Amino acid sequence: GLLISVIGCGGGQNNNTTVQSGTSENKGISERKFKLSVGLTEDHPEGVGGKKFKEIVEKNSGGKFQVNVYFNNQLGDDKKVSDSLQSGTVELGIISTSPLTASVKEFGIFDLPFIFNNEKEADAVLDGTVGKTLLDKLPAHNLIGLGYWENGFRNLTNSKKPVATLEDFKGLKIRTIPNQVHLDVFKALGANPTPMPFSELFTAMESKTIDGQENPLTAIQSSKFYEVQSHLSLSKHLYTPFIFMASKKFWDKLNDQEKKILQDAVIEAGKFQRELNREETKKSLEYLKNKGMQVSEFSNEETKKIQEAVKPVIDKYSKELGEELVKKMFDEIQKVRGE
C-alpha cells in the first residue's frame, strides 16, 4: 500500500496512467539505464526528491527506464558533475546554479544577495521567463536544463563566535561556493572568503582550516555541520536554486516520448521536492538548536547595514550580468509582491 502517488495535481499528463511494458503506449520507449547525481545526502530533500524522480520515471516508462541515483557527491562535486554531464559520462545531475556560472555567467543573477524575500518570489522568477531564458543558454554548453528545484536560503555558521552584526563578519574565514558573486559578497562584508567544493567542506571545518560556511538549514542538518560548527546566524543572505540537468549527448539520443517522460518527472518531482524542502526547513531550525547550535538573528538595523554593504556588489554584477535580465527579474519579483 505504499504505492500512493503523492502528487495529485498538475505535473505531467502520465500521472495516473499505468503503462505496461510492451503495450502500444510505450512501444517507442527503449530500455535504458542512467545515472542521476545528487550532491547532498539521501535523506536531504534533494535526495528524497531524486528518489521520487526515479519512482515516477520508472513507473511512467513502464519499467523500461532504470534510474540509478547517487547521493552525497559520490559522482563528484558540482563542478565535476557538470563536466561529466558535458562529456556524457553522467546522464542526469542536480547541482546548485552557483558553480554553473563558470559556463553560463548569467546564472549569477540568482547569486545576488537579498534579491528574494521568500520562496514564492523565487518560484515566480525561476518558473517564469527569466528562468527559461537561462535554461535556454545551456545547450550551447552541451547541457540541457530540465528545471529548477530548491536548495534554499543560505545561512551563516561558524565555530568562533556569535555573528549578529555587520562588524562580526570581520576577518572570519568563510568557505564559499566557487562563484565570483559569493566571494565579492563576503569580501564586502569584511570576511575572508575561500572558495572550496562542498565535498571538502566538513573536513576543512573540522580541522579549523576555515571558521565557517553558509548553506540552507536543511543542508546544515543533513551534512551534520552542527558537529563542527557551534554558531548559526539566520542571515538568509542568498537563495540558491538547484538545477536539474541532462547531458546533451544523452538527451539527443532520446525520442520525444522518452524526453517527455523525463521532462515531466523533473517538474512533478520538483514540486514535491520544493514543498518538502520548505517543510523540512522549518523543522531544521529546531533540530539544529537541539543539537546545541547557538542561533543569532540580525536586528533590522544590522540587516540594513549589511544590505548597504553589499549594494556595490549588486550594482557591479547587475551591469556585468546584463541590466536588462536583472531588471526583468526585479519586475517579476515586483509582480509577486503586488499580488
From the centroid of its chain, how far is CA 264? Answer: 19
Strands (DSSP E) found in 205-278: 212-215, 231-233, 239-247
Q: At its nearest, how many Å lie between ligand KDG and the CB of residue 3?
A: 29
Q: At its nearest, how many Å lie between ligand KDG and the CB of residue 60?
A: 26
Q: Of the two residues 60 and 221, which places its CB atom closer to ligand KDG in the complex?
A: 221
* Chain residues in the site for ligand KDG (CB under 6 A): 39-40, 73, 77-78, 95-96, 151, 177, 198, 215, 240
Q: At its nearest, how many Å lie between ligand KDG and the CB of residue 54?
A: 17
Amino acid at 121: E
Name the grid cell of 168.
562580526
Q: At its nearest, how many Å lie between ligand KDG and the CB of residue 295?
A: 20
Rg from Cα positions in the chain:
20
**Measured distance CA(259)–CA(82) in Å, rounded:** 20
Q: Of the two residues 19 and 228, which places its CB atom closer to ligand KDG in the complex?
A: 228
| Residue number of the CB atom closest to ligand KDG | 39
Q: Of the two residues 79 and 291, which places its CB atom closer to ligand KDG in the complex?
A: 79
Q: Is 165 exposed, middle or buried (0-12, 13-18, 19+ CB in 10 A)?
A: middle
Report DSSP state, residue 43.
T
**Measured distance CA(201)–CA(204) in Å, rounded:** 5
Number of H helices, E strands in the chain: 11, 11
Q: Of the two residues 219 and 314, which places its CB atom closer to ligand KDG in the complex?
A: 219
Q: Of the two residues 196 and 261, which places its CB atom closer to ligand KDG in the complex?
A: 196
Q: At its nearest, how many Å lie between ligand KDG and the CB of residue 223?
A: 9
